[in-house]
Chains A and B, each alone.
Chain A
Amino acid sequence: MHRSHFRLMLGVLVAVTSLIVAGAAGGASKKSTAGSVTFGAEQEPPCLNGFTSGCNNTWTSWTAGIALANVMIVKPDFTIKPYMGNAKVVSRKPFTVLVTLNKKAKWSDGKQVSADDLIFTWQTIVNPKFDLASRSGFDSIARAVKVNGKAVKFIYKTPYAPYKVQFATYSIIPKHALEGLDFNTVWDNNYNNKAGQTMASGPYKLQSYTKGQSLVMVRNSTFWGKRPTLDKITFVFRTNTDTEIQAIRGGEVDAIYPQPQLQLAQLRGQSGLKVQTNAGTTIEHIDINTGAGNSSPLLGQAWFRQAIAYSLDRTGMIKQLFSTLNPGLPTLNNLSYVTAQKGIYVPHFAKYQINNKAKRLAKVAAIMKAHNCTKGGDGIYSCGGEKASVRLGTTSGNKLRELAVEIMQAQAKDAGIEFKADSQPSRLFFPRIAANKYDLALFAWVGTGDPAGQVDIYGCAGDKTADNPQGYGGSNWKGYCKPGVTNALKASDAALNPKARIKLVNKADALMANDVPTIPLYQKPTYFVFKTSLKGLVDNPTLQGPTWNTEGWKAG
């Protein structure tokens, strides 16, 4: 071999070896130091001000949002408990909520978290100049009365039953740091006050944020609660499921909280890793377009929608999809409450689940016969000249949903109803639904376990305008309007007695179980994977997410 070739190859060999040596040496010293956790975050917050529409993302609150504490907190069992304070109803007429703050609650720059901050938070949220994602609850407040440095009475315009959810969802922001600033542009990639110090009322404060790479939270020594054990929590962004799996296997991250995907099943039983799964509060369901814009008038008939519901073996489908990921994931049979809410959840839709295939097909056949439908040569019914053929679409690219569509296509076909697949990527899918251009749509509502605002989805209590003569709720794209349902849901938002409220919501749900404007499927399972050496990590399937209790986390 030529001498120059030798030299070249030798050079390459030396380079590679030195890289390996450097890497091995580096790898050894870069072990997670006791007291720090590296968490693989599946999405990067678009920006850090979670209040604004543009930055509103669950991962914003699950990562940087740890720094901003809320008055109440939703526990994994869906109960809402006091956290940085408490919210109590002190008067029904006018509806008044007394919000008190923990005496020890203070900001990381030393100032107390005070009543002024509470009032400032309210004023900021209802300020129309700011492009905020949501104002629910706060826009019902008529005025605020400062009781003392740590308590405020909020007087509402109308009774607002989900007030606890309100104070569990919105963080409290510091007046002295944000007063006078443009809330639309402030706190984009840091939580600094006017002096450049990072602000925090939660157990950890934001130390640094490298866009596209990582977000580092360090212990907030001024935290009012139990002293946080960890020094540091580093969130690194890993959006690809396979990459997350290899990263946690290889120890490049210590914990992940991925969306359910089939390949995650391989992490169960992996030594050194623990898997916690629960049924979450994201409700996967099928919306049915009962009004204008659908392709078959049959969809406007309740009996036909019932036939569709009977033709589906939802339990069988869920079993096939999730047996490896979350065995035992229950079928959801209520549109407003989740299965874990004992005593509250009533499975009104359970009647549509017939496990035995023969009985299932017989039931659909009976319904079809009763309405003079006949089966065509291809096995699909025709009713008065209308073929029982509708479009079923979902967000393409989401594997589990696509598989669900294929399963349901086969099930419906057996029963004599044709589902034509009509999926689009989400950016095209959702506008079409909003424009009522669909038949059956499979997607999910992100919920909290509290049915606040359901009237928007199932009712027609909105203002009747030229665009919207029926007054459909803002998220009611089904053309569904039943006064019984609308009134019950609207009343529930004002029902202060929790028992009365539950009764009203379930009353609406029972009515909808007969009308079938929507078919509930399942709650999307949560999937929390972390190293067994980490203690104190508990999955919270509500909107609070896995970082709801970081003050109790211990490493090693």
Chain B
Amino acid sequence: MTETTPDSDVKFPPVVGAGPDEATISPATPGAAVADLPDGIDLVHEHGLEFKSRSQWAYARRRFFRHRLAMASFVVLMIILLAGVFAPLITPYPFAAQDFAHSGQPPTFKAHHYFGTDVLGRDYFSRVVYGIRTSAKVALIVTLVSTIVGTIIGAVAGYYTGWVDNILMRFTDLILTLPALALLLTAAAFLGTGNPTRVAFILALLFWTGLARIVRGSFLSLREKEFVEAAKAAGSGDLRIMFRHMLPNAVGPIVVNATLIVGIAILTEAALSFLGFGIQPPNPSLGKLISDGQDVSSSMWWLVTFPGLTIVLIVLCINFIGDGLRDALDPTQRRTRA
């Protein structure tokens, strides 16, 4: 039964405690102990308290750009993603070109086999780059869909509380009770496989639950805050309060969880490929490359290492970006060192 040893313990997106602000205070920009002067002080018009106020997003943007680690990660991630987008231009070989005479070669600069070749002599650098393309597509769809679904469900549950909350959370529990891998296999068998988009949608059906709980937790505490009362008093409708006032305050944990989901999505896609539910050959995805290379990983280490490192790099970058984003978007954050 060696052909069916699947990969990857699939874990749910971690449920951060359903309490007020998921507090991963990230490193503030070093050396910025002094509060910023609001831009646009027109020193010429210095009479009175006239100053030009900026929108929250402008402040956020500026704080993000100050966050060095996030910026560096952003650059690295862009390089990786653009490599995927412009794959046909930068790959020295077609990803399906087999060459038995040169199979199983370790990485070398000769003949442009930077990542070596695989068991059938295909250039591995090309395969990894095309793999980035496929995996990025899957991960993006999964993250978007599950984030949107999870946020909506959590927001509605946390805002309205009462029986609405009860039903939604019980439904969330229901999805959570079914082990991810088992559900994936059953759903994949039902809906068919091979198509990365289909795979992505199946995965997305599972990953919104953690986010829903977090958003619900945030909204539960946020609804007691004064600005919500104020908005209500001002006559704002429920939807407006939820998405215009409360959501920006809850963005921190959402962003953090979304970044975690990306990583898990890529890995779960690898698990599906391993089980045979993934992309059809010869098209590569990072997950399929790892599962294909696994057999010979002790003699041809590069087959697992390069796609694996790529995944790690992508996940790392996204998480540091997430740190930076949350840092930038959290209006209550004190940029002081602990």
Direct A–B touching in the complex (beta carbon < 8 Å)? yes
Which residues of A line the B interface, CB within 8 A?
42-43, 239-241, 258-259, 261-263, 265-266, 316, 320, 395-399, 402-403, 405-407, 409-410, 421-428
Asked if B281 contacts A241 (CB within 8 A), the reply is no
In angstroms, Cα B279 to Cα A406, docked, is 13
Q: Which residue of A lies closest to B4 (CB)?
A: A397
Asked if B193 contacts A424 (CB within 8 A), the reply is yes
Q: Which residues of A contact B100 (CB under 8 A)?
A: 316, 320
Q: Which residues of B contact A422 (CB under 8 A)?
A: 194, 280
CB 8 Å contact bits of B1-30 with A (1 = contact, 0 = none): 111110000000000000000000000000
In angstroms, Cα B194 to Cα A410, docked, is 19
Q: Which residues of B contact A240 (CB under 8 A)?
A: 2, 5
User: CB within 8 A of A407: which of B98, B274, B296, B297?
Assistant: B98
B181 to chain A, nearest CB (A): 13
User: CB within 8 A of B3: which of A316, A399, A406?
Assistant: A399
- Pick 25 A–B contacts, CB within 8 A, sort by A: A239-B1, A241-B2, A259-B3, A261-B2, A261-B295, A262-B296, A263-B295, A263-B296, A265-B299, A266-B299, A316-B100, A395-B3, A395-B276, A397-B3, A397-B4, A397-B274, A397-B275, A397-B276, A398-B3, A399-B3, A406-B281, A407-B120, A421-B280, A423-B281, A424-B193
Q: Identify which of residues 207-255 in chain B touch chain A, using a CB-to-CB cut-off of 8 Å.
A: none
B330 in contact (CB, < 8 A): no
CB 8 Å contact bits of B79-103 with A (1 = contact, 0 = none): 0000000000000000011101001
Q: Known contacts being A43-B1, A259-B2, A421-B282, is A403 close to B120, with CB within 8 Å?
A: yes
Q: Which residue of B lies closest to A260 (CB)?
A: B2
B130 in contact (CB, < 8 A): no
B294 to chain A, nearest CB (A): 8
Interface SS of chain B: loop
Asked if B275 contacts A425 (CB within 8 A), the reply is yes
Asked if B281 contacts A425 (CB within 8 A), the reply is no
B260 in contact (CB, < 8 A): no
Q: Which residues of B contact A396 (CB under 8 A)?
A: 276-277
B292 in contact (CB, < 8 A): yes
In angstroms, Cα B274 to Cα A281, docked, is 28
Interface residues on B, range: 20 to 34
Asked if A320 contacts B277 (CB within 8 A), the reply is no
In angstroms, Cα B119 to Cα A263, docked, is 11
In angstroms, Cα B21 to Cα A80, docked, is 76
Asked if A424 contacts B276 (CB within 8 A), the reply is yes
B138 to chain A, nearest CB (A): 17
In angstroms, Cα B97 to Cα A471, docked, is 44
Asked if A263 contacts B298 (CB within 8 A), the reply is yes
Asked if B3 contacts A239 (CB within 8 A), the reply is no
Asked if A263 contacts B299 (CB within 8 A), the reply is yes
Q: Identify which of residues 107-141 in chain B touch chain A, using a CB-to-CB cut-off of 8 Å.
A: 119-120
In angstroms, Cα B1 to Cα A406, docked, is 22
Asked if B5 contacts A421 (CB within 8 A), the reply is no
Q: Which residues of B contact A397 (CB under 8 A)?
A: 3-4, 274-276
B189 in contact (CB, < 8 A): yes
In angstroms, Cα B281 to Cα A406, docked, is 7
In angstroms, Cα B119 to Cα A399, docked, is 11
B313 to chain A, nearest CB (A): 26
Q: Which residues of B contact A427 (CB under 8 A)?
A: 189
B272 to chain A, nearest CB (A): 11
Q: Known contacts being A410-B98, A427-B189, is A42 close to B298, with CB within 8 Å?
A: no
CB 8 Å contact bits of B160-174 with A (1 = contact, 0 = none): 000000000000000
Further 14 A-B residue pairs, CB within 8 A, beyond A266-B299, A320-B120, A399-B295: A239-B2, A258-B2, A261-B295, A263-B297, A395-B3, A397-B275, A403-B120, A405-B281, A409-B96, A409-B281, A421-B282, A422-B194, A423-B281, A425-B4
Q: Which residues of A contact B4 (CB under 8 A)?
A: 397, 425-426
Q: Known contacts being A399-B3, A422-B280, A428-B189, is A410 close to B119, with CB within 8 Å?
A: no
In angstroms, Cα B96 to Cα A405, docked, is 12
Q: Which residues of B contact A263 (CB under 8 A)?
A: 295-299
Q: Which residue of A lies closest to B276 (CB)?
A: A396
In angstroms, Cα B3 to Cα A43, docked, is 11
In angstroms, Cα B296 to Cα A403, docked, is 13
In angstroms, Cα B3 to Cα A398, docked, is 5
Q: Identify which of residues 282-311 in chain B touch chain A, using a CB-to-CB cut-off of 8 Å.
A: 282, 292, 295-299
Q: Which residue of A lies closest to B5 (CB)?
A: A240
Asked if A42 contacts B280 (CB within 8 A), the reply is no
What 9 pairs between A and B have smallest CB-CB spacing? Answer: A396-B276, A397-B276, A425-B276, A398-B3, A421-B280, A241-B2, A262-B295, A397-B3, A410-B98
Q: Which residues of B contact A410 (CB under 8 A)?
A: 96-98
A444 to chain B, nearest CB (A): 12
Q: Known contacts being A263-B299, A395-B3, A427-B189, is A403 close to B119, with CB within 8 Å?
A: yes
Q: Which residues of B contact A407 (CB under 8 A)?
A: 98, 120
Asked if B277 contacts A42 (CB within 8 A), the reply is no
Q: Which residues of B contact A265 (CB under 8 A)?
A: 299
B271 to chain A, nearest CB (A): 12
Q: Which residue of A lies closest to B278 (CB)?
A: A396
In angstroms, Cα B100 to Cα A286, docked, is 22
Asked if B281 contacts A402 (CB within 8 A), the reply is yes
A23 to chain B, nearest CB (A): 24
In angstroms, Cα B282 to Cα A320, docked, is 17
B315 to chain A, nearest CB (A): 25
B258 to chain A, nearest CB (A): 31
A241 to chain B, nearest CB (A): 5
Q: Which residues of B contact A405 (CB under 8 A)?
A: 281
Q: Which residues of B contact A409 (CB under 8 A)?
A: 96, 281-282
Q: Count chain B CB atoms within 10 A of each CB in A42, A240, A424 and give the residue with the most.
A: A424
B241 to chain A, nearest CB (A): 48
A295 to chain B, nearest CB (A): 15
In angstroms, Cα B119 to Cα A427, docked, is 27
In angstroms, Cα B6 to Cα A21, docked, is 35
In angstroms, Cα B280 to Cα A425, docked, is 12
B269 to chain A, nearest CB (A): 14
